[in-house]
Structure 1
């Protein structure tokens, strides 16, 4: 699907479905290509004449957030997050002073938000290609917050698990699933943070004072999100280590108890083995009180060892 927004030299804003519908030379042209067909992909080369490498980056291969500078335009790659599938969605931007093309293979709420803000702008003379790109970028970054907050809430919910009947194995599984989600969002937020920082430092494009304020706002959000993600990762690492330690502690206690019982029964087994031998001439073998005496000795040994272990606080 293609939709077109253009502002003429009189700062009148108009929309359409195709850039070919323009009746006058625009001051600014914005073409949004969403869920494109093969025919619509051809516009990038045949109508806009973009460099084949940037077209390949946009159409063929999923890229990390980045930028490239070409002769007459800049090419950016942004990553949005789909809150239903938790997967990154690529938004490609081709931009110069009079043109901006946004290209995305999936429907983008972030581009819709930027589009609506421009369409309902009271003063179209304030709109520039860089302003549209920054509004899109701001919408992309703001849409990370629900995902980051949701993961942070899940991390904090582990504090209440002591009152829930759940096994350690289940908790460990949940922790690793949570760390996987945190790694996913981290792979998106950190490269975007690096890209915005490079924009802010003026290493990509010259910025006005107003644009720098806007980028500082976006960069602050990314810094906050990155800190929340790192804090959540540290907490999940602590949770994982704590539950592994707890599991090891429980296993050690079990092994200690089993070892104590084994030690208690070792001398009893020795006595039973001795008097179970089939020799004709054995002391006390035909003694009238031999059976009861052996039982008394075995009980004394058992209770004596239990008392000794209790005194040493071994269990």
Structure 2
């Protein structure tokens, strides 16, 4: 979760007041309903809850796109008996991943991450889930997500997802969100490799900036994934609406989360190593430059001495009256410079 001032919109308001704290706005909220069972599949899109026809005996997945219309969200809450405190959490963009449940519902907030290749940054979107009997509601700020594979599985005739209830659908969506983090880590690994190669090739321009950017993006992944462990613990051990068969699948998701956290720890150490490597390389490079400048300054010390001696305004300096004094000065200077350079190279100082 990136730090922001989203909570400022809620200051001074009573608990349960519906206030959308995000920045994404739509002209109207879109409701997409997918209804299915072992033998049938139906999909419809509407712009208000009154036009939606639910099949209580089937599995109903209602995906809501757009959260800025608080009146529409309030109507959805009344239709499904979702209290205002949960609706407030749904509209509070920047909410920490969390779970709330009782014998009638399960409420989950997660972060869905995506990688912006143009800006080389990780973007996050809050996704809220409400599970009630055969109904699963998902709330998103905008259209476009990573759930198309799940939709395609539901649409398929022989899909295994149709053999289970809405709790298995919830598992499938959460599993998609968790597994998507592997793709993000792959992008981060590519960025880390590029920075590392640049450092090795002694291209130091803006490398410190890139390293801090990597550290920041990795922190976004960590803060989004870390709380999922607690959510999965509750789903596996305490939530009664999740059947024992589906809990086994959630255990597999928990293994994935643990593996992702291991990768995050490895990447963090790698990035810290890049920081140290960059600082050492920069320091070594600076030492090389200072050494070279010092050596060349040393070469000019005897030349400065010679020119200083014969630049004095004494009258009786025999060498000044000789015809070959000036050419002799350059010969001596060249010999001194050449001798010192040869000496430095034998010592491997140059």
Question: In structure 2, which of residues 305, 319, 327 is the aligned counterpart of residue 270 of structure 1?
Answer: 305
Match of 2:62 in 1: 31
After alignment, is 265-274 or 284-293 more displaced?
284-293
Match of 1:59 in 2: 91
2:95 partner SS: coil
* 1:128 and 2:160 aligned: no
In 1: Cα distance, 2:196 partner to 2:92 partner: 45
Match of 2:203 in 1: 167
Matches within 5 A, 1:11-30: 17=46, 18=49, 22=53, 26=57, 29-30=60-61
Post-superposition CA distance 1:219-256 (Å, at most 9, x none)? 22223333333333433443443344333323222211
Task: Give 5+ residue unaligned stretches, structure 1.
Answer: none
> Shift of residue 138 of structure 1?
1.3
* 1:183 and 2:185 aligned: no
Residue 302 and residue 28 in structure 1: after superposition, are their counterparts in 2 closer, same or farther (change >3 A)?
Answer: closer
> Shift of residue 106 of structure 1?
1.6
2:199 and 2:281 in contact (8 A); partners too: no
1:6 and 1:26 in contact (8 A); partners too: no
Match of 2:285 in 1: 250
- Greater share of helix: 1
Match of 1:234 in 2: 269
Match of 2:340 in 1: 305
1:100 and 1:129 in contact (8 A); partners too: yes
Residue 151 and residue 265 in structure 1: after superposition, are their counterparts in 2 closer, same or farther (change >3 A)?
Answer: same
Post-superposition CA distance 1:162-217 (Å, at most 9, x none)? 998x83316555554444433333332223344334434x1555754422320122
1:13 and 1:124 in contact (8 A); partners too: no
In 1: Cα distance, 2:156 partner to 2:94 partner: 32
Post-superposition CA distance 1:3-36 (Å, at most 9, x none)? 345679x998766554775587547654322225
Residue 70 and residue 91 in structure 1: after superposition, are their counterparts in 2 closer, same or farther (change >3 A)?
Answer: same
2:108 and 2:129 in contact (8 A); partners too: yes
Task: Give 5+ residue unaligned stretches, structure 2.
Answer: 1-29
TM-score, normalised with respect to structure 1: 0.78
Residue 23 and residue 91 in structure 1: after superposition, are their counterparts in 2 closer, same or farther (change >3 A)?
Answer: closer
- Report the RMSD for the aligned CA atoms in angstroms: 3.9
In 2: Cα distance, 1:308 partner to 1:163 partner: 31
1:62 partner SS: coil
Match of 2:10 in 1: none
* 1:260 and 2:299 aligned: no
1:254 partner SS: helix
TM-score, normalised with respect to structure 2: 0.71
> Shift of residue 156 of structure 1?
4.0
Residue 143 and residue 121 in structure 1: after superposition, are their counterparts in 2 closer, same or farther (change >3 A)?
Answer: farther
For these two proteins, the number of residue pairs brought into alignment is 312
1:118 and 1:127 in contact (8 A); partners too: no
2:161 and 2:169 in contact (8 A); partners too: no
Residue 121 and residue 66 in structure 1: after superposition, are their counterparts in 2 closer, same or farther (change >3 A)?
Answer: farther
Residue 214 and residue 260 in structure 1: after superposition, are their counterparts in 2 closer, same or farther (change >3 A)?
Answer: same
> Shift of residue 272 of structure 1?
1.2
In 1: Cα distance, 2:141 partner to 2:334 partner: 80
